[in-house]
Copies of this chain bind each other. A is one copy, B any other.
Amino acid sequence: MKNNTADKIVWAKKDLLGLEYLSREEIEVILYTAQSFKEVTTRQIKKVPALRGKTVVNLFYEPSTRTRASFELAAKRLSADVINIEVEASSVKKGETLIDTGRNIEALKIDIIVVRHNCSGAPNILARSVKSSVVNAGDGWHEHPTQALLDMFTLKSKLGHIEGLRVSIIGDIAHSRVARSNIWGMTKLVAEVTVCAPPMLIPEGIEKMGVKVTSDLDEALKNTDAINVLRMQFERDTQKAFPTKLEYFKQYGITDQRLKKCKKDIVVMHPGPINRGIEMSSDVADGANSVILEQVTNGIAVRMAVLYLVAHAKREIVA
């Protein structure tokens, strides 16, 4: 990776709330720092003492196995102590406010709060209320910044750079925090982003974020360097606004046939878990262009970088 400037940049933010709030340079510092942590994950002893004696709380208001496990591993590989707190939606009503919860966690002298919340903006409120660092692990339909960072890290690892790439994001754009964080991040790193979805799953005014919009999959695939295929969350479609699974696969499912018409080295990403036979065929998911499992691996390195940076905010980074 070429990063002529990243190692001279000082990271000054105590929180990571979304890619909307970061400069291109800050995003590059995270990717650059992640690169050095990636090496750690390949060692026999996958552990460094960078956060020894620090405490990370995973505060999850939505159930999550994958993201929680990834953050927990990242923290443990930095030698931090980790406490998991799962708050059920039902207990929120009778419980204290988010700010009170945050202040109580701060009073426990926690260094970093990793928070997932069903309300957009909850991590921002929390971050303003506490001196502890706050890392957004997904909030409502707003942002999921570490997912987008690991997508960008993986893309850069594969293709060497992000600037000038054509990236298409395919699927339920309207309800996807992954899409929003990807759009913020990829456009800041000067990729050309296209979003592609059935018309009812494209949010109004999305083109103001600097992306091309289409409902035609062939158009989205043509000449693109990478696709980021979103998970269709049929289980959340209480209003029955979605097409049927079969219909969706027919019109928007990524298949080997469709891939054959694309650039030979097209990079296929998916935040997981995959609905095989809906968003993509198994041939594609397990095929040569798929980097889906590399994304999972890179997620650890990226989250180690984020935890490390926010814990050491305002210090010079010597990487």
Contact = CB atoms under 8 A, between A and B. Distances in A.
Interface of A: 41-47, 52-55, 57, 65-66, 69-70, 72-73, 76-77, 81, 83, 85, 87, 94-97, 100-101, 103-104, 106-109, 235, 272-274, 276, 293-294, 296-297, 299-300
Give this chain's copy count.
3
A73 B108 contact: yes
A109 B297 contact: yes
A66 B94 CA distance: 15
Contacts of A43: 53
A100 B273 contact: yes
A235 B52 contact: no
Contacts of A66: 104
B274 A96 contact: yes
B73 A107 contact: no
Residue among A42, A96, A100 with max Cβ neighbours from chain B (10 Å)? A100
Given A41-B109, A104-B296, A107-B297, 8 more contacts: A43-B53, A55-B73, A65-B85, A66-B104, A69-B108, A76-B81, A96-B274, A109-B300
A273 B93 CA distance: 12
Contacts of A94: 235
A273 B94 CA distance: 10
A178 to B, nearest CB: 16
B41 A47 contact: no
Nearest to A88: B63
Nearest to A104: B296
A70 B103 CA distance: 14
Given A273-B96, A293-B103, A85 B108 contact: no
A256 to B, nearest CB: 19
Contacts of A76: 55, 81, 83
Contacts of A104: 66, 272-273, 293, 296
A146 B53 CA distance: 24
Nearest to A52: B45
A293 B44 CA distance: 36
Given A55-B73, A73-B83, A104-B293, A273 B95 contact: yes
Contact of A85 (B53, B55, B69, B293): B69
Nearest to A272: B104
A76 B80 CA distance: 10
18 contacts: A41-B109, A45-B53, A45-B54, A46-B55, A66-B104, A69-B83, A69-B85, A72-B83, A73-B83, A94-B235, A96-B272, A100-B276, A103-B293, A104-B272, A104-B273, A104-B296, A107-B294, A109-B300
